[in-house]
Amino acid sequence: MRFFATLNAADPQATLAQVGATPALVAPPCALGLVADQRAWLAAGPYRVGALVAVGEVTLFNRADLLAALGDTPLAPTCSDGELLLATYAAFGPPGLGRADGLFALAIWDGTCLTLVRDPVGGRTLFYSQAGNVWAAASHLLALRRWPLLRPSLNLSAVQSFLTFAYIPGAETLLEGVYELLPGQYMRLGPGAQRSSGFAWLPQEVPPDPALSAADYIALLRHELEATTQAMLPSDEEVGVLLSGGVDSSLVAALAARLHTRTPRTYSICFGDELPNELAYAGLVANHCRTRHRVLRFSGAQVAAALPAAVAALDCPVGDPLTAPNLLLARTAAADGLRVILNGEGGDPCFGGPKNLPMLAYALQHGLDDPAALAHTYLRSYRKGYAELPRLLTPEALAALQHAPPLEERVQPYLTNPQMQSYLNRLLYTNVRTKGAHHILTKVERLTAACGLEGRAPLFSRAIVATSFALPPALKLRGTCEKWILKQAVADLLPAQIIERPKSGMRVPVQHWLRGPLHELANDLLLGPRAQARGLFRPALLREWMAGHGMLWPRQGMALWMLVTLELWLRVYVDGYSY
């Protein structure tokens, strides 16, 4: 259930409202049903424990652990997940939220302060802002953007972040003065514009135990994978799995098939049989696990038609060309009657996937003594728009960014985290806290929720993230074998061809779409009068890229896709368009 909350910091009154669950976008504030005063809201609040009342979106995967920790607290075993989380907060305070494994965003009113909390890994989002003496928070950015006191304007610093990462890491958003709560963070908003925050949970490196062998660690990981997947399976109903054919999604499909009482439905995406794809691998896994498999073929025209709705569903833009196909897949799964769909997201950031080897090689060659150089190399490894910023942004935009914090500061604190002794773990920590929380998980959650589904990522649960940092780094990246221990933990579940194959990733024909069904849309969006009026990008360079010149072809397609995504997003969240 989506929610919106406000707090008058000068004359403390909390106004909170739960927004009815619907696949549609959040309605304007006049239709939110905001309660006029504190007394009326207290009577209507969805969750109440003692003097605390709360609204939120809560799905818990370790209910039994939390109920056991509460002991004799008078709470019914059949209580809702929201009530259970609120009772945990009441009993243990903000640090108690670190005990919860699940997807949640919650606003808690205690009569004086409004406390915002977000789940440990960032599966759900929570945004906040201040206008005058009034705080406002919402689980969806569009609800906050439609708050009458907010005057949305573009945050140019976040624009360059998006063009560098293809998402926006950290607390900033593209709306000036609007911020995102970080994963595992809690924030207390009180009278007189008071604000304090802390973290209920952060990943912690656990030193290797010399008494444990590689086989012991493999068994430990296997146990956690089974327990986590089991906890995410819906009770006595069908579950779907997005099956790409890679080891991560394949192991989730295999565990779901082994542990669930119902045969899983698996879905694979293809963009035409004439293009390179992984359908053979996905089919091999589906046959091996005896799932009900379905191949979805999406044309460029279908992707172009779905792209505006996919972008509008995202709180912050994601320059991933799979956004629209993922939305089309979610629509199909919802039409098949599913409520929950699993995915294999999380294997790479947690267990040492691609892009770590070049960073490790750089560290071996140049050392770890220059944090700024490490951060610079990390940004370049994304191969998005970082190197193009000086010639892509207009002189006016570059001048406005002259005093903006360096982009390297977005990742440097993670790469130099003193709590992580292993440099590989620092890289994984950076991936988990940036790309995981602000791209992978939020993209999955928003696109599935837009179709009335709940997307769940077993490999990105709090339990699996914690387990990852308790494994010896040498078992995650063994020589040049990426995710070695993860593959060993599930080797008996999958065909050898899947375990042994190198990662290739799903190939999306962005360049062909931009030459075909997306060409007119991209041209209108990037070179039209509204985009020109923003004054962000040099039209001459955009025309050069649209004509297929000026950059390596694959990178050019990705750069244009990011720019198209950004312009579509700005029209909804800044200009107020509806798709």
Claim to verify: residue 457 and residue 514 sit in the same structural domain: no
The pLDDT confidence band at residue 461, using thresholds 50, 70 and 90, is very high
Report the pLDDT averaged over residues 519-534. Answer: 93
Query: Where does a domain end: 135, 170, 199?
Result: 199
Is residue 395 one of the residues assigned to a domain?
A: no
Report the pLDDT averaged over residues 209-224. Answer: 97
pLDDT per residue as tens digits for the range 197-210 = 999 999 999 999 99
More confident residue, 152 or 538: 538
Claim to verify: residue 451 and residue 305 sit in the same structural domain: yes
pLDDT-wise least confident of 33-37, 49-53, 134-138, 266-270: 33-37
- The CATH code of the domain that includes 245 is 3.40.50.620
pLDDT per residue as tens digits for the range 122-159 = 999 999 998 877 888 888 898 888 888 888 899 999 99
Cα 66 from chain centroid (whole Å): 25
Percent of the chain predicted with pLDDT > 70: 90
Is residue 393 one of the residues assigned to a domain?
A: no
Claim to verify: residue 129 and residue 14 sit in the same structural domain: yes
Report the pLDDT averaged over residues 476-498. Answer: 94
The pLDDT confidence band at residue 37, using thresholds 50, 70 and 90, is very low
Is residue 143 one of the residues assigned to a domain?
A: yes
The pLDDT confidence band at residue 22, using thresholds 50, 70 and 90, is very low
Is residue 464 one of the residues assigned to a domain?
A: yes
Claim to verify: residue 138 and residue 42 sit in the same structural domain: yes
DSSP per position, 326-369: HHHHHHHHHHTT-SEEE--TTHHHHHT-TTHHHHHHHHHHH-SS
Claim to verify: residue 92 and residue 121 sit in the same structural domain: yes
Query: Where does a domain end: 500, 525, 558?
Result: 500
Considering Cα of 477, then 482, then 486, then 492, what sign does the dihedral take?
negative
Q: How far apart are CA 439 and CA 168, in angstroms?
A: 8
Is residue 380 one of the residues assigned to a domain?
A: no
Count of domains observed in the chain = 3
More confident residue, 358 or 546: 546
- The CATH code of the domain that includes 137 is 3.60.20.10
With 0-12 / 13-18 / 19 or more C-beta atoms within 10 angstroms meaning exposed / middle / buried, residue 247 is: buried
pLDDT per residue as tens digits for the range 162-184 = 999 999 999 999 999 999 999 99
- The single-letter DSSP state of residue 436 is I
- Residue 132 amino acid letter: G
Q: How far apart are CA 577 and CA 561, in angstroms?
A: 20
The reply, when asked if residue 242 is annotated as ligand binding, is yes
Whether 212 shows a pLDDT value over 70: the answer reads yes
**DSSP-assigned beta bridge partners for residue 15:** 6
Claim to verify: residue 481 and residue 548 sit in the same structural domain: no
Claim to verify: residue 456 and residue 340 sit in the same structural domain: yes
The alpha carbons of the chain give a radius of gyration, in whole angstroms, of 23
pLDDT per residue as tens digits for the range 304-362 = 999 999 999 999 999 999 999 999 999 999 999 999 999 999 999 999 877 788 888 88
pLDDT at 505: 61
The structure tokens listed for 382 are 């994304």
Evaluate whether 493 touches 255 at the Cβ level (below 8 Å): yes
pLDDT at 42: 35
More confident residue, 161 or 35: 161
The reply, when asked if residue 81 is annotated as ligand binding, is yes
Whether 21 shows a pLDDT value over 60: the answer reads no
Report the pLDDT averaged over residues 494-499. Answer: 95
Whether 28 shows a pLDDT value over 80: the answer reads no
How many Cβ atoms from other residues are within 10 Å of residue 177's Cβ? Answer: 15
Whether 35 shows a pLDDT value over 80: the answer reads no
pLDDT per residue as tens digits for the range 273-299 = 777 778 999 999 999 999 999 999 999
Is residue 166 one of the residues assigned to a domain?
A: no
Is residue 74 one of the residues assigned to a domain?
A: yes
Mean pLDDT, all residues of the chain: 88
The pLDDT confidence band at residue 29, using thresholds 50, 70 and 90, is very low
Give how far Cα 173 sits from Cα of 85, 178, 578, Å. 27, 6, 20
Is residue 377 one of the residues assigned to a domain?
A: no
Coil, strand, or helix at residue 218?
Answer: helix
pLDDT at 10: 54
pLDDT at 193: 66
Claim to verify: residue 139 and residue 277 sit in the same structural domain: no
Query: Where does a domain end: 167, 199, 231?
Result: 199
Claim to verify: residue 429 and residue 516 sit in the same structural domain: no
Report the pLDDT averaged over residues 233-255. Answer: 96
Claim to verify: residue 572 and residue 540 sit in the same structural domain: yes
Q: Where are the beta strands (DSSP E) in 340-453?
A: 340-342
Claim to verify: residue 50 and residue 184 sit in the same structural domain: yes
pLDDT per residue as tens digits for the range 56-99 = 889 999 999 999 999 887 787 789 999 999 999 999 999 999 99
pLDDT at 286: 97
Claim to verify: residue 260 and residue 295 sit in the same structural domain: yes
Q: How far apart are CA 40 and CA 63, in angstroms?
A: 30
Structural domain of 447 = 214-352+422-500
pLDDT per residue as tens digits for the range 249-278 = 999 999 999 999 999 999 999 998 777 778
